[in-house]
Structure 1
Amino acid sequence: MPEQPSLTTRQLMAGVHLDRRYRNAVIDELYEHEERYSAPSYDVDAAAVLAEALTARRTALRWAVPMALLWIAGFLLAGWLYALYAAGFTALAGAAALRRARHPVVRVTAGILWVLGGVVLGASFAAAAVTPWPDGWSGVTAAVAGPALMAAVAEAHRAAVEKRLRFIGSSTYRRSEQPRRFGMISALIEAERTSSMAVDPAPLLGAGTLLAHSAQATEVLGHTAVFEVSDVLARVRSRVGAVPGLTARVDECFLLPEEGAPRRWSLPHPRPDELPASTRWLRITSGDPGSRLTTVFVQIRLDGPVLFVQQATCALPPVRREFRAANRARFPLGRTLAAPAALPAELATWAVRRARRLPSSPPGSRPPSGPHLSIRELASEPTLPPLTAAEAERISWTVRLLVLDAVREVLRDQGLSAPGLNEQRTESHNAQNSGIHIGNITPGTIAAGFDARASDITRHTSPGPTTNPDDDSWEDDLG
């Protein structure tokens, strides 16, 4: 029996049926641009989501053809009336596209479009009922039966989508037959999902919101040739695995820049020992059943006598509310009302995309490119819940303590020392909502602003100003 998709994968598979823009983004990123590496997917089978997106597009096109034929017949038999119908249904389609917006102005605009579309359609139906048609029954049929047939096609499309949504949520789900080209792209996506190498033009794309970043550099005293980063990473793996609260998956990854990346179709890819040390990261992923994921990236490097420890913590928000619980998902009523205009638009969009691909070059001839977006991030809620952010901070601090303890232990076992680690010389900050919170700079000073400078205060030895008016020794310490 084929392996069943995870809960998060099923939610995204439902999303490609519920949101046309999301479906087109998935197809464009993973299928139309085969030269792009796929973004790391931590809790999603991207190939399964792509397969369902292609199925959703075929379903929409299957019902778009009869809808377009009805429009053509209507314009030929009752042109001016169908122009009014088109205006009303287009307004409803615009309202349906804007209904998920969070900005108040956009939501008000969607409401206005709903009212406008309803008024125009009502006036159109009234005009069809009172207008004497010179060509007899053909005009009456087009004016009355045309909208009824459009409603039937829209309802049939809705029923087909809801049936597919129930199938996605069932335990008997099977992937639909796909074109031969999909098999080649799916194999690449699967290979990249299990590979330790990732082309990462945007820092940590796919891991979610960057919540915290810390960096620490210190001098190692002793014969540093005996120090191996692999020993530290192995010790960190062991320590992380011993903490039940992390429920972590630990692996190594190599985040390569887009420039100089190997072609996606060229195999085999470089081995890990052939990649620069600056691209090597330890990736610690901790998740929960609510499709919320925290990923901590740790990098340890030794450049001469300087030991550098860097950590970045990212958190993925939950999947969008309307995508959740695929087996209970329903096709929105607003989209059914807007289907007479939306389905022909699907056909036009597909034709334009097809025309663009006609002069396409053979696979592997385009220069390699990193991912432009993550299909998991694109399906996430726009904000991170406060409890999820607090949990991510707990995981981040836990991992940081484990990493520093592992580094100290390895240094001690190899007869080395790093006084800076014991003195906790750290520089850390949290970056969120376009702000920066300085967590700790000890010891040291900070300066902000153009051409600002900060002086070192650790050399001052006097206690500072005193109540004795004749004691001005502290002024000498300030230079």
Structure 2
Amino acid sequence: MPEQPSLTTRQLMAGVHLDTRYRNAVIDELYEHAERYSAPSYDVDAAAVLAEALNARRTALRWAVPMALLWIAGFFFAGWLFALYAAGCAALSGAVALRMSRHPLVRLTAGIPRVLGGSALVAYAAIAVAADWPEVTAALGIPVLMAVVAGAHRATVERRLRFIGSSAYRGPAQPPRADAISALTRGEQMSPLVVHRDPTPFLGAGTSASHSRALAVQVHGRTGAFAVSDAQSRITRSVRAVAGLATRVDERFLLPDEGVPPRSRLHPHPDELPASTHWLRIVSLGLGSQTTVFVRILLDGPVLYVEQVTCALPPVRRKFRVAHLPGARPVRLASALAAPAGLLAELVAWPVRQAPRLSSPRSSRPPGGPHTSIRELAAEPDLPPLAAADAERISQTVWLLVLDALRTTLRDQGLSAPGLDEIQVEQHGVAQSGGIYIGNISPGSAAFGSQARAGDITRHTSPGPTTNPDDDSWEDDLG
């Protein structure tokens, strides 16, 4: 029996049926631009989502053909009056597209075309009733037939959504090219090697949840005995020893896409990659959200560098999450009224999408890193407050474990780093020694020892007015 997709994968599969723009983005990134390496997917089978997206497009095109014939018949029999109906459908289709936007301000504007489209359809119906036969027959009969076609398409989508959510789900059949692309994508998802564009090395993990942390300390002793792999192994054991902290700890090699070979020919051994590409990845899954901490350790002569980047991925959009649940009504009335225009647009856009294939054959496109992540595209625009607080807690905890593991590793190998042993943390303007304070310190504002430098230092933010009448430090934050 084929392995069943994860819950997140099922939610993204539902999304390609419910959101045309999301479906097009998935196909464009993973299929039309097959020369690009795929972004890492966490708990998501990107190849299965692509297969479902291609199936959703084929389904929409099949129902778009009879819809296009009805549009032609409407303009032929009803004449100029049918243009009013077309304007109403187009406005409602635009409203549906605006409602699917990830930006709140854009979603607020969806009411304008919805009101205009509804008014146009009401006016169309009123004029059609007052018109002479046979115009009234065409003006009212053709929209009824369009509603039948749109309803049949909607029923097909809802059956598919129920099938996606069932334990009997099987992936759709694919053409040979799609099978080959899916095999490459699945191989990249399981590989520790990640090819990325320079601006987005952590694509797929979400947005930065807190300030990155960086530390540089001087190591005393024979540094040739220090092995980064030993420190990484100790960090891994420390993280796994904390119950509930991480669901996955592994190593990733982040390789810039400049000069990389095609996807099918990239098989480097990890030992052949520079040390700067080695990162330890710590993944923690929450209630729908995900926190990922990347840690890199480098030894350059006597200087030990430590970097930590924390990313957080919001939950999948609510519409995608509830689509496969029993009793869910994923298709709204506005979407049903806009379906005639949406299906026609799908058919019209199909030849437009074929143009780039003729002007720029795939074989002539240079390989490169991914431009987007299908999981990030399906996420809510904002991280929930509790998830953001959880991400900061995880980031702080991992940072403490990393520092402790480095101290132990150096000590076991007969080395020392005063910058790690003499920790100084500035808290509320008071320098403290001998401990680490998590409370209200700004992420990245910690400096370790006289020879240490804290990276990504931000302006100190005091906690606000206190009960001490002589404490006016908070006024500095008011500018």
Per the shorter chain, which TM-score range?
0.7 to 0.9
In structure 2, distance between residues paired with 1:64 and 1:216:
58
- Find the counterpart in structure 1 of residue 225 from structure 2: 226
1:361: how far off?
A: 2.5
1:24-74 CA-partner distances (Å, limit 9, x unpaired): 001000100011111111121111111111111111111111100001111
Aligned CA distance change for structure 1 residues 107 and 394 (closer, same or farther; 3 Å) = closer
Aligned residues: 432
User: Contact between 1:216 and 1:426, CA under 8 Å: does it hold in 2?
Assistant: no
Aligned CA distance change for structure 1 residues 285 and 266 (closer, same or farther; 3 Å) = same
Q: Does 1:338 align with 2:344?
A: no
Q: Does 1:263 align with 2:259?
A: no
Identical amino acids, percent of aligned pairs = 66
The DSSP-based 3-state class of the residue aligned with 1:327 is coil
Q: Does 1:194 align with 2:200?
A: no
User: Contact between 2:283 and 2:290, CA under 8 Å: does it hold in 1?
Assistant: yes
- Find the counterpart in structure 1 of residue 74 from structure 2: 74
The one-letter code matched in structure 2 to 1:248 is: T
The DSSP-based 3-state class of the residue aligned with 1:265 is helix
Aligned CA distance change for structure 1 residues 437 and 227 (closer, same or farther; 3 Å) = closer
The DSSP-based 3-state class of the residue aligned with 2:265 is coil
1:139-163 CA-partner distances (Å, limit 9, x unpaired): 4442221011001011111111111
Unaligned 5+ runs, structure 1: 428-435, 447-479
The DSSP-based 3-state class of the residue aligned with 2:307 is strand
The DSSP-based 3-state class of the residue aligned with 1:439 is coil
1:115: how far off?
A: 2.0
In structure 2, distance between residues paired with 1:106 and 1:225:
57
Q: Does 1:209 align with 2:215?
A: no
- Find the counterpart in structure 2 of residue 34 from structure 1: 34
- Find the counterpart in structure 1 of residue 459 from structure 2: none
- Find the counterpart in structure 2 of residue 458 from structure 1: none
The DSSP-based 3-state class of the residue aligned with 2:415 is coil
In structure 2, distance between residues paired with 1:242 and 1:300:
21
Unaligned 5+ runs, structure 2: 427-441, 454-479
- Find the counterpart in structure 1 of residue 308 from structure 2: 311
Aligned CA distance change for structure 1 residues 9 and 104 (closer, same or farther; 3 Å) = closer
Q: Does 1:150 align with 2:146?
A: yes
User: Contact between 1:316 and 1:380, CA under 8 Å: does it hold in 2?
Assistant: yes
- Find the counterpart in structure 2 of residue 381 from structure 1: 380
Aligned CA distance change for structure 1 residues 301 and 402 (closer, same or farther; 3 Å) = same
Question: Which of 293, 298, 303 matches 1:296?
Answer: 293
The DSSP-based 3-state class of the residue aligned with 1:296 is strand
The one-letter code matched in structure 2 to 1:305 is: P
1:236: how far off?
A: 1.4
In structure 2, distance between residues paired with 1:296 and 1:255:
14
In structure 1, distance between residues paired with 2:407 and 2:105:
55
User: Contact between 1:23 and 1:53, CA under 8 Å: does it hold in 2?
Assistant: yes
In structure 2, distance between residues paired with 1:407 and 1:437:
20
Question: Which of 180, 184, 188 matches 1:184?
Answer: 180
1:430-465 CA-partner distances (Å, limit 9, x unpaired): xxxxxx86532466899xxxxxxxxxxxxxxxxxxx
1:234: how far off?
A: 1.2
The one-letter code matched in structure 1 to 2:84 is: L
User: Contact between 1:36 and 1:371, CA under 8 Å: does it hold in 2?
Assistant: yes
- Find the counterpart in structure 1 of residue 446 from structure 2: 440
In structure 2, distance between residues paired with 1:109 and 1:217:
49
Aligned CA distance change for structure 1 residues 157 and 308 (closer, same or farther; 3 Å) = same
In structure 1, distance between residues paired with 2:355 and 2:253:
37
The one-letter code matched in structure 1 to 2:189 is: R
User: Contact between 1:214 and 1:426, CA under 8 Å: does it hold in 2?
Assistant: no
Q: Does 1:160 align with 2:156?
A: yes
RMSD between superposed Cα atoms in Å: 2.2
Q: Does 1:242 align with 2:241?
A: yes
The DSSP-based 3-state class of the residue aligned with 2:386 is helix
Q: Does 1:320 align with 2:326?
A: no
1:105: how far off?
A: 6.0
In structure 1, distance between residues paired with 2:223 and 2:150:
71
- Find the counterpart in structure 2 of residue 278 from structure 1: 276
In structure 2, distance between residues paired with 1:27 and 1:255:
24
User: Contact between 2:226 and 2:413, CA under 8 Å: does it hold in 1?
Assistant: yes
- Find the counterpart in structure 2 of residue 451 from structure 1: none
- Find the counterpart in structure 1 of residue 167 from structure 2: 171
In structure 1, distance between residues paired with 2:102 and 2:374:
20
In structure 2, distance between residues paired with 1:407 and 1:3:
40
The DSSP-based 3-state class of the residue aligned with 1:244 is coil
1:128: how far off?
A: 2.0
1:295-354 CA-partner distances (Å, limit 9, x unpaired): 110101100111111111111111111111342242222111101111100111112102
In structure 2, distance between residues paired with 1:101 and 1:55:
23
In structure 1, distance between residues paired with 2:263 and 2:244:
37
In structure 1, distance between residues paired with 2:55 and 2:419:
57
In structure 2, distance between residues paired with 1:100 and 1:362:
31
1:176: how far off?
A: 0.6
CA radius of gyration, larger in: 1
The two structures have a TM-score, normalised by structure 1, of 0.86
Q: Does 1:251 align with 2:229?
A: no
The two structures have a TM-score, normalised by structure 2, of 0.86
Aligned CA distance change for structure 1 residues 184 and 309 (closer, same or farther; 3 Å) = same
1:188-216 CA-partner distances (Å, limit 9, x unpaired): 11111011111121131111121231111
Aligned CA distance change for structure 1 residues 123 and 254 (closer, same or farther; 3 Å) = same
- Find the counterpart in structure 2 of residue 5 from structure 1: 5
1:178: how far off?
A: 1.0
- Find the counterpart in structure 2 of residue 119 from structure 1: 119
In structure 1, distance between residues paired with 2:388 and 2:355:
45
In structure 1, distance between residues paired with 2:409 and 2:107:
58
1:360-390 CA-partner distances (Å, limit 9, x unpaired): 4354x42111111111111111111111111
Q: Does 1:409 align with 2:408?
A: yes
- Find the counterpart in structure 2 of residue 46 from structure 1: 46
Greater CA drift, 319-328 or 368-377: 319-328
In structure 2, distance between residues paired with 1:258 and 1:228:
28
Aligned CA distance change for structure 1 residues 107 and 279 (closer, same or farther; 3 Å) = closer
